[in-house]
């Protein structure tokens, strides 16, 4: 790593995470997190980044990987899962997975990296969702996990201020593989033009982490400009 600020992006091999990695690459040295895959290696080769291939729900693996990080300027939590279905039909395993990936893994990794973040007076960015502010039928497990993620971010901001900055981003629907799976579940057609681009979300993340010292960006909410679905 050079003398530039260091950023770790989870879920960085595709979608919004990959877009954030590309947006931060000109100004930051990157650790790009994701499951070990060709996609992870490809984006790291593209950006000159260091791969961080860690299964975030494996507590021991996360602890071992985090132990080597002694300074961290930006931590972006972009990894997440969305499993849809009514409360009547969703098995308890789906609820467990939603909270394990979308909340517990986030809390665990953040806790391990707090010394490195404090050392840099760093910035934690959490990619939430519109479902972290409002609930729709069929989205109960996902929305509940995102409401919990919102609470985690708010508590972290209060506990660690002013040493750390904490920003939550609430995107509307984004053109990603996850969105394709959602639309398939909903039985609708998929038109990328109806959704935000990952790059649009990434630009907002850059705006938050490059804000001047007198400005704390606590929340950003963004929706597609087209008709609301």
pLDDT per residue as tens digits for the range 105-134: 999 999 999 999 999 999 999 999 999 999
Quote the number of domains for the chain: 1
Specify whether 170 is catalytic: no
What is the domain range of residue 181?
Answer: 6-222
Within 25-174, residue ranges assigned H as helices are 38-47, 59-66, 92-99, 105-120, 140-160
Q: Measure the CA–CA gap between 199 and 228, rounded to whole angstroms.
A: 20
Strand partners, 171: 222
Would you say residue 1 lies in a domain? no
Span 222-227, mean pLDDT? 82
Which is the catalytic residue, given 52, 139, 142, 195?
142
In the chain, the percentage of residues whose pLDDT exceeds 70 is 94
Would you say residue 34 lies in a domain? yes
Would you say residue 229 lies in a domain? no
Helix axes 15-24, 38-47, angle to 10 degrees: 20
Would you say residue 228 lies in a domain? no
- Give CA separation, 108 vs 4, 63, 112, 122, 152, in Å: 26, 9, 6, 17, 11
Which of 67-71, 75-79, 211-215, 225-229 comes out lowest in average pLDDT?
225-229
Question: Position of tokens 């009514």?
Answer: 86
The pair of structure tokens assigned to 184 is: 């398939």
């Amino acid at each position: 790593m050079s003398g530039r600020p260091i950023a770790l992006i989870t879920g960085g091999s595709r979608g919004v995470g990959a877009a954030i990695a590309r947006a931060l690459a000109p100004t930051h040295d990157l650790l790009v997190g994701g499951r070990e895959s060709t996609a992870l290696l490809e984006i790291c080769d593209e950006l000159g980044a260091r791969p961080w291939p860690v299964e975030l729900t494996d507590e021991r693996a996360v602890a071992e990987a985090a132990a080597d990080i002694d300074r961290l300027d930006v931590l972006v939590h972009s990894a997440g899962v969305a499993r849809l279905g009514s409360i009547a039909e969703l098995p308890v395993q789906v609820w467990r997975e939603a909270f394990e990936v979308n909340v517990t893994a986030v809390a665990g990794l953040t806790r391990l990296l707090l010394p490195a973040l404090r050392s840099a007076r760093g910035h934690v960015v959490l990619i939430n969702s519109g479902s972290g502010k409002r609930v729709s039928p069929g989205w109960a497990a996902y929305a509940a996990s995102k409401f919990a993620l919102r609470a985690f971010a708010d508590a972290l901001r209060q506990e660690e201020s002013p040493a750390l900055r904490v920003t939550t981003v609430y995107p509307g629907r984004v053109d990603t593989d996850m969105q394709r799976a959602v639309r398939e579940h909903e039985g609708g057609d998929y038109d990328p033009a109806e959704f935000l681009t990952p790059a649009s979300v990434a630009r907002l993340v850059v705006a938050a982490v490059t804000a001047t010292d007198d400005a704390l960006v606590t929340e950003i909410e963004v929706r597609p400009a087209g008709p609301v679905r």
